[in-house]
Structure formats: C-alpha cells, structure tokens
Amino acid sequence: MSRHFILFLLLLASLGALYHRSTSQEKDCRLKITLVDSQTKKSIPGVIRCFTQSGNQAVPVGGALARGQGLEGKDALPDWYVITESAETLLPRQPLKLEAFAGLETELASVSIDLSGRDQESLTIPLRSFSQVSRQGWYGGNTHLHLSNLNKDQADRYLREIPRADHLDVLFISYLERAVVDKDYITNRYPLGDLKQFWSTGVLVNNGEEHRHNFGDQGEGFGHVMLLNIRNLVQPVSIGPGISHQGTDGTALQSGIDAAHRQGGVAIWCHNNWGMEDVPNFVSRKLEAQNIFDGGTHGSYEDSFYHYLNAGIRVPFSTGTDWFMYDLARVYTKVVGDLGIKSWLDALVAGRSFISNGPLFELTVGGQEVGDTVNLKSGREVQVKGKAIGRVNFEKLQLIKNGKVIAEVDPRSSKDHFEARLDRGVEIDEPGWLALRISTKANNEFGRQLFGHTSPIYITVDGKSIRIKDEVEYLMKQMEDARQTVATKSLFATKEERERVLSIYTRGMETLRGPGASLR
C-alpha cells in the first residue's frame, strides 16, 4: 500500500470524524446549567444528572466532571456530574428531566425542559435548603481520602471541584505507602500540611498520613491510624514485611501516634475495629477519635464505640471515605470561633461531632450539647430534645442510652425532605451517656445505605462516670487475644522488639484494670 494512499485514507477518516461531530452538534442543543440558592439566588456548586423525559435512559452531561471519577463497578456513580458555578453542555434536542442537589442540606430538585428544535438554552435550577446546621457553627469534614491512577491535573481538578460540590468544609487527604502499588497513589505527591492552593474553593484541604501495619498485603494487622495536622511524616509510614515487603513487625503503631502528638497532630483510628492495637491505644487515651464506615458499611456501632463508652472511655465519632469520595459521608464538628484545620480538629477531639451520609442532627440533654457532660448530684429526670432532618426518609430516629434504644420516632414528610423530633424526659439513676442515631435500610442518592449517629452527651452521677464491669472485661479479653495473636504472627528480629510491641497490650490491660470508678 503506497504512502499517498495511506495519507488519503487518513484524510477521509478525519473528514468523516469532523462531519460526524458537526452533524452530532446539529442534533444537540447547547444548554447552560446554573444551580442557585432558592433564597439568595446566588449560584452554588452541586451535582446533577439528566434523563430522557421517560426517565428510562440517562443522558451524559458532557464537559462536566463525573462525580464518580476514579470509581469502578457498583461504586462508579455513572449518572451524576459536578456543577461548580455553571456548566455548558450539549444535550439532545428532546424533552429531558434533570435532578440536582448540593451537599446534605438541600432538597432534591427535579425539573423538566423541552429542548426540541432549540440551538441554545439556559436553565437555572433553584435548590432549597432545609437545614441550618451550617449557620450554627457545624462544619462537615472528610478525615480519610486517597486518590490513585489519576494524573496531577486530574487530581487537582478532583480536589477543586468534588469536595466543593459536596459542600464539605474540611478535607484530609493522606500519604500512604504500600510496596510497589503506591507508585500510582497521586495524593502521595502533594506536600504535607495545608494545601492552600485549594482553599479558595471554600474547602480547607490538609495532607496527613495513614500510619499502618498489615499481616500480608491486605490482611488484618496492628491496624490503621490517621495522623492529621502533622508537619513531618512519621517513619516508617507503613510497618512490617506484610505491607512494605521489608523489615520486621517490631514497631507498634503507638510509637508513631506518640510521634504525631509531639508535632501537635491528632490520631484517628480507621476502619471501625479493624486491627489489633485499637483497644490498648483507646484505653491509654492515645487516640482522639474513631472512624467508622470509612471504606464501606461493614462494622457496627457496638463494636466500634459502645464497648468503649460503657467502659468509661470517651470516643468521639468520625468518618471518611478512604479511596475516592464514593459517598456523601462526613463528620460534622461544632467549631468554636473561626474555622481552621486546628479548630475543626479541636472540636472533633472534644466530642462535638456527628457522622452522616444523609440526615443532620441536633441533640441536647438538660440544655447541654453533644460532647458536653451533664453533672448530676443524684439521679433524676433530664429533658432530652433531639432532631434529625434529611433529604431521604431515614425511617427511624432512635435515642440511645448506654448502647440501648430507649425511644424512637418516625420521620414525617415536610415538602421534599423528612424530619423527626424527640422531646421527652429520661430518668437517670446511674452514670451513662445518651446519643441519637437513625435505623434504616434506605439508600441515599449515591446508592449507599444511610447512616447517622451523634457523639454522646455524657452523664455523671455523684461525680462518677459509667464503668460497666462486663464491658471492661470484654475489652480486657480483646487485648489478651490481640496480644496472643501478635505474639504468634509477628516477625521480630530481637527479644527487645518483641517485648516493646507486646508491652503495649500489657500496659493497656494495667491501665484498664487500674484505679477508676467502681464496676457495676
């Protein structure tokens, strides 16, 4: 085949592509889409999806960033797209239906538009807010995010547009090492600390570290912990031959947690109760908060929180999404003063938090708020006021006392959202804690099962805090079993390494067994 003939074929192919593109555009309408706050009429970021009028077929929104970028399979969110200020896209000249929302505080707007015979059109979609939490000092954050298999420009765009469209206020990405495959972890290429190049979006982004140990590449090991607001990486970032393919298992996570604290950092346990070093570190007050559902909906409140709380160990609730933002999950904290990375983390450490991927909460006990302590001189009735409000029907709002449901109410429909209120007296005759949660099988707009739980309000009676004997014994057994597993499975180079790691559990058991409120 001659060179001239090949060039001729390439020219024909190019002309064909141009013709197809031009005829395709002739069949489409150029639509400018803007989302606005229904009250202020100001443009706001959010997400949209588009369908044919029948609703049976999704229509791609070309030019807009796919909300599910980087996600695959059932997590891919194929139909949702990000709108920052406004977006221009080519859509077919036919009747269409669009849906939009912004974060967790607006209703889902649904509008229809007929683009038949139109070359160009504009569409403004008003979004109605049903919640005031953002005006009451509550700020939503994601404490656990990694990105991979994106180039730097794609990662920059992701961090500029998606957290903003989800109406997050604070976001922590983190540095993570895993032998060989971490070459594709694009978030590892950002510098540690505040990433102020993204702050103009209205989201405070900070880069921390995921400090971890595994037996095997993915097997359960000592555990994973987020080290946030640190100035320098804690080395080794990943411990042991299982994940790093080198060295020994002779370094406990606790030494890295201590190193982060010396930098003024905060340590948050990851992935529910996954790992073997969580209990001794919570018992020893080394950990500031607990992440649940950061990477899926496995795990339970009972295993991740209630055992600790009933043993007298205060554990604030937190969450994130791990690999990409596959969900709307976040932890809200009530910040005192101006919002900043430190003030947001201070609020989390103080227990002024609730976690959610849908409903938003309010709770007071005797006038005290989430994270506070109600001090009673003797047992008596306290007034509990609670509220949950969300875009999707969350089915049950439950009041939890010391891990047990003591009251629940059904939400009622209010325009295009759901709301449940609780106002009742609760008899207190012993120390404990109270919190709100939802109970539902319903999914949010991204197809993830709804969850939501406040951190507790604590109650002391005659100066004593809760300390239930069975729960203390449960945690003791957890540490004993973990110590035995670590002793059996770990690779230690010396007796000193072995003793250094196993002593974490010994000290944890001594601390839990030591002086404190009497068991009941």
**Digit-coded pLDDT (tens) for 108-145:** 999 999 999 999 999 999 999 999 787 899 999 999 99
pLDDT number for residue 55: 75
- Give the chain's mean pLDDT: 92
In the chain, the number of structural domains is 3
**Helical H segments across 289-340, by residue range:** 301, 307-310
**Domain identity same for 340 and 369:** no
Which is more confidently placed, 428 or 2? 428
Q: At what angle do helices 469-489 and 495-513 cross, to 10 degrees?
A: 180
Query: What is the rounded CA–CA span in Å between residue 461 and residue 430?
Result: 6
- The answer on pLDDT for 508 being more than 70 is yes
Residue type, 457: I
Which is more confidently placed, 519 or 311? 311
Tell whether 21 is covered by a domain. Answer: no
DSSP state letter for 94: S
**Domain identity same for 285 and 157:** yes
Query: What is the rounded CA–CA span in Å between residue 261 and residue 367?
Result: 33
- Which residues pair with residue 460 across a beta bridge? 375
What SS3 state is found at 100?
Answer: strand
Q: With cut-offs at 50, 70 and 90, classify the pLDDT of residue 23.
A: very low
DSSP state letter for 350: T
Query: What is the rounded CA–CA span in Å between residue 452 and residue 465?
Result: 25
- The answer on pLDDT for 520 being more than 50 is no
Percent of the chain with pLDDT over 70: 94
Q: Which of 451, 466, 481 is where one domain is finished? A: 466
Looking only at the bridges linking them, the beta strands covering 86-92 and 193-194 are unpaired
**Digit-coded pLDDT (tens) for 312-371:** 999 999 999 999 999 999 999 999 999 999 999 999 999 999 999 999 999 999 999 999
Tell whether 236 is covered by a domain. Answer: yes
**Averaged pLDDT, 391-411:** 97
pTM of the model: 0.92
CB 166 within 8 A of CB 133: no
**Positive or negative, the Cα torsion across 389, 394, 398, 402?**
negative
Encoding tokens for residue 61? 């929104």
- The answer on pLDDT for 375 being more than 90 is yes
Give 410-414's long-range contacts (Cβ < 8 A, gap of 24+).
Answer: 414/130
Q: Look up the domain containing 93 and give its range.
A: 28-127
**Domain identity same for 264 and 330:** yes
Looking only at the bridges linking them, the beta strands covering 432-438 and 457-461 are antiparallel
Query: What is the rounded CA–CA span in Å between residue 176 and residue 211?
Result: 7
**Digit-coded pLDDT (tens) for 169-226:** 999 999 999 988 889 999 999 999 999 999 999 999 999 999 999 998 888 999 999 9
CATH number for the domain that contains residue 32: 2.60.40.2190
**Domain identity same for 150 and 181:** yes
Integer angstrom CA distances of residue 242 from 146, 339, 350: 20, 39, 35
Query: What is the rounded CA–CA span in Å between residue 62 and residue 64?
Result: 6
**Digit-coded pLDDT (tens) for 258-293:** 999 999 999 999 999 999 999 999 999 999 999 999
Closest CA to 436 of 358, 384, 503, 377: 384
Q: With cut-offs at 50, 70 and 90, classify the pLDDT of residue 518.
A: very low
